[in-house]
Amino acid sequence: MSGTSGSELRTSLKLPWRIRFILAALNAISNASIRRNGTVNRCLMTLIDFKVPPSDKPVKGVTTSDTTVDPSRNLWFRYFLPRGTTSGENLPIIVYFHGGSLVFLSPSSKSYDDLCRRLAGELPATVVSVNYRLAPEHKFPSPYEDGVEILKFIDENPPANADLTRCFIVGDSAGGNLVHHVTARAGEHDFRNLKIAGAILIQPFFGGEERTESEIQLAGTPLWSVERTDWCWKAFLPEGSDRDHPAANVFGPKSSDISGLKFPKSLVFMGGFDPLRDWQKRYCEGLKGNGKEVKVVDYPNAIHSFYIFPQLPESTLFLTELQDFIYSQ
Ligand SMILES: *[C@@H]1O[C@H](CO)[C@@H](O)[C@H](O)[C@H]1NC(C)=O
Ligand SMILES: *[C@@H]1O[C@H](CO)[C@@H](O)[C@H](O)[C@H]1NC(C)=O
């Protein structure tokens, strides 16, 4: 990346105008909904966060249903099942954590209902999309605890047509951060039937105090601002800690030794226009340095959140890559 200025990089980004427009709207509203006093205007977010109800009639070949796990903390999941799965047929199960900077969105958000439906129908697989608690109302480690609780629940109450021995923990952006921490915590628990066969982190949201080269060079690329990510870390991390907290900076100066951790083979997706890519690279190096097996897929023209847009060519490549990983374990 050295030798190229940030503005040259940004003008070399080719995106359809419709996607640029959607990203600009998302950016403006999420920017406007976070307040200086550390709270979120959730009413304002409803302008862009369209909700989709579950449906037992197949939509694009997939049925959905919602299951409550713990009403006291609004812990529930949406289950995606491809149509025509017969009673004896068991498919791999994906436990999915949506993105949204640890602050926004849910499994019923249209973009995530669409994405999980695509995964279920096209891989094919069953998908459990988790409604975990959000910051700033709920700080670290609430969403990690919610993720482990969901794994324990499905271990005891296997959803229809799910092969618990082929369970993959998957998530994008903030959800990718959850994939690491939930998988690490789950490694300390003995499940009855559930076996984690792989971890898939799609452009995971990691960070730290330092400003990396990609954060500086790619400032101003769609859907991202360092002011907003700083705000989100502050909203999520414990009072008084900085961004080198191990929740954000997994292999940073304050992290503990993870060499003894039970961690499955992982697949990490990165994009050339994602300002978070340097943090993701360090994360992959950290895993490898601790003897964990990790496959990195890096799309040079991909922006942060490319997978939300099926019309982008990388979205198709991404599905094939997921399918290969899941069906080769
Ligand atoms: C933050 O600001 C909003 C809007 O101005 C206000 O409604 C809310 O009560 C404030 N919250 C705190 C904790 O100061
Ligand atoms: C929101 O947008 C304004 C104007 O573009 C910018 O100055 C500000 O830093 C942004 N705030 C956050 C938290 O992203």
Give the tens place of pLDDT for each residue, 130-175.
999 999 999 999 999 999 999 999 999 999 999 999 999 999 999 9
Give the integer Cα–Cα distance in Å for 286 and 18: 37
Average pLDDT (103-116) is 97
Quick check: bond before 253 cis, omega within 30?
A: no
Catalytic annotation on 245?
no
Output the pLDDT for position 141: 98
Establish whether residue 37 lines the binding site of ligand 1, counting it when its CB lies within 6 angstroms of any ligand atom: yes
Q: Which residues are CB-neighbours of 38 under 8 A, at least 6 positions away?
A: 136, 234, 235
In the prediction, which pLDDT does 10 show?
A: 62
pLDDT for residue 1 is more than 80: no
What mean pLDDT do residues 32-61 have?
A: 94
* In the predicted structure, residue 3 carries a pLDDT above the cut 60: no
Provide the residue type at 223 as one letter: L
Question: What angle separates helix 313-328 from helix 110-122, to the nearest 10 degrees?
Answer: 50
> Ligand 1: which of 33, 34, 35 to mutate, most ligand atoms within 8 Å of CB?
35
Q: 56-85, pLDDT tens digit by residue?
A: 999 999 999 999 999 999 999 999 999 988
pLDDT digits (tens, 9 = 90+) for 48-64: 899 999 999 999 999 99
Q: Indicate if ligand 2 lies below 6 Å from the C-beta of 231.
A: yes
* Residue 50 near residue 109, CB atoms below 8 Å: yes
pLDDT, position 132: 98
Task: Return the percentage of the chain with pLDDT > 70, whole number.
Answer: 97
């482990």: which residue's tokens?
A: 148
Is residue 207 within 8 A of residue 229, CB to CB? The reply is yes
Q: What is the rounded CA–CA span in Å between residue 107 and residue 31?
A: 21
Distance of CA 36 from the midpoint of ligand 1 (Å): 9
Q: For residue 70, which of 162, 148, 164, 126 has the smallest C-alpha distance? A: 148
Average pLDDT, the chain: 94
* Residue 146 burial by Cβ neighbours in a 10 Å radius (0-12, 13-18, 19+): buried
Known catalytic residue at 274: yes
Does 35 sit in the ligand 1 pocket, CB within 6 Å?
A: yes
**What are the tens digits of pLDDT across the range 192-233?**
999 999 999 999 999 999 999 999 999 888 777 899 999 999
Catalytic (active site) residue 173: yes
For residue 276, the Cα-to-chain-centroid distance in whole angstroms is 13
Handedness of CA 223, 226, 227, 229 (dihedral sign): positive
What count of Cα atoms within 13 Å lies in the side-chain half-sphere of residue 51? Answer: 10
Question: Which pTM does this prediction carry?
Answer: 0.95
CB 36 near ligand 1, within 6 Å: no
Per-residue pLDDT tens digits for 232-265 = 999 999 999 999 999 999 999 999 888 888 999 9
